[in-house]
Amino acid sequence: MSRPPTEVVPLAQPVIGEAEEQAVLEVLRSGQLSLGPRVPAFEERFAARVGAAQASAVSSGTTGLHLALRAAGVGAGQEVVTSPFSFVASANVAAYEGARPVFADIDPVTLNLDPQAAAAAVTERTAALLPVHIFGYPADLPAFEAMGLPVVEDACEALGARHHDGPAVGGRGNPAVFGFYANKQLTTGEGGMITMGADPALKARIDSERNQGRAPDMGWLDHDRLGFNYRLSDIACAIGLAQLDRLDDMLAGRARVAGWYREALAGLERERGLGLPCPDGARHAGEQRGWFVFVVQVPRGGPTRDEVMLALRDRGVQSKPYLPAIHLMSFYRETYGYREGQFPVCEDVAASSLALPFFPRMRADQVERVTAALADVLG
């Protein structure tokens, strides 16, 4: 077993600096840590960034998806068609409302929910479609919108992405949910944002439900609907505002690192069969990825994905399986009866996917180290 180098190449690393520190200090010194002015300021700037009419800040991407599905009218006994290749939250939120998550297989190139498979999964009980912009690559929203059902977009990994017909992800008018965990394109530590069209009643409902169902006048004595504690604090929103100021640089950094990886791994793709992320415009000219992670597909006939991951760790390189198939998780097997073989493209991709270190300030020599270690392991 090889000994790890002194420096471990981390899987992810947020870009946090003096601007974020100063923004947090200003909120702390103001004495208003929640329900203050930074929340609407962050909402307005974020909505403008993606071309949305309005937005609501929430405590996580998961809570945003939950509120968006509720606003779409999803309820007990209904179905939500979504992808089995995603973080589990995009399926869990349907179960929160007593609805059944109905999976359909994914496109083998983009790894997004396949529109034809999704259409075949629609029944009279289908209340909404929940496509996921996986790893920052835009799903084929025009195809889903043409089905005539409410669409809620899981854009938690896709800030900076753009659809082939023009709009940025989050700016089509459907409720679209972004996540701000520490490894995302923009971070508030924890947090999320729902972007939406111009309907003021929709924002009023979401803003109320994120705040325990409190009445529109914010009166303590009347909570006129069921609600949740899904608020995002002014501290987090202050960080988000500072992150928006540097977002262009962070997105450019991610694209730069992705370019280094593509060039460095081209030989392994050609000679060993390593699968690389699909390029922009893979299905439709004009599609642009918002780089979230750099995920490769470990080739068949050599070490397994898990063996590669352990061998990289021994060489001082962090990596992570990205992502497991949701329908094969214990809860989904036992609760809904899902089993192996139902979604073969997803299962094949999930068994071979590996996220490599990827972050905006990753150095060229770190990419070289990762590439050399991967070549050594696959060889």
**DSSP letter (8 states) at residue 343:** S
Does residue 320 carry a catalytic annotation?
no
Structural element, H or E, at residue 307: helix 305-314
Tell me how far apart the alpha carbons of residues 73 and 218 are, in angstroms, rounded to a whole number.
24
Cis peptide before 323 (omega within 30 of 0): yes
Please say whether the beta carbons of 319 and 309 come within 8 A.
yes
Q: How far apart are CA 358 and CA 86, in angstroms?
A: 18
Q: How many beta carbons lie within 10 A of that of residue 160, not counting itself? A: 24
User: Where are the extended beta strands (E) located within 26-92?
Assistant: 54-58, 79-82
Q: What's the CA gap between 356 and 293, in Å, rounded? A: 8
Q: What are the backbone dihedrals phi and psi of residue 260, each rounded to the nearest 5 degrees, phi first?
A: -60, -45
Question: Could you give phi then psi for residue 9, rounded to 5 degrees?
Answer: -85, 115
CA 253 to chain CA centroid, Å, is 18
In angstroms, the CA 156 to CA 221 distance is 35
Dihedral sign from CA coordinates of 32, 33, 34, 39: positive
Percent composition of the chain: helix, strand, coil (DSSP 3-state, to 5): 40, 15, 45
Cα 308–Cα 358–Cα 257 angle in degrees, nearest 5:
115
- Given a contact cutoff of 8 angstroms between Cβ atoms, the answer to whether 158 and 133 are in contact is yes
User: Look-up: residue for tokens 């780089």?
Assistant: 291
Q: Rounded to 5 degrees, what are φ and ψ at 294?
A: -110, 105
Assigned token pair, 119: 């259409």
Say which of 38, 70, 163, 184 is annotated catalytic. 184
Query: How many Å separate Cα 114 from the centre of its chain?
Result: 17
* Calpha distance 199→173 (Å, rounded): 10
Number of other residues whose CB lies within 10 A of the CB of residue 229: 9
- Which residues participate in catalysis according to the annotation? 184
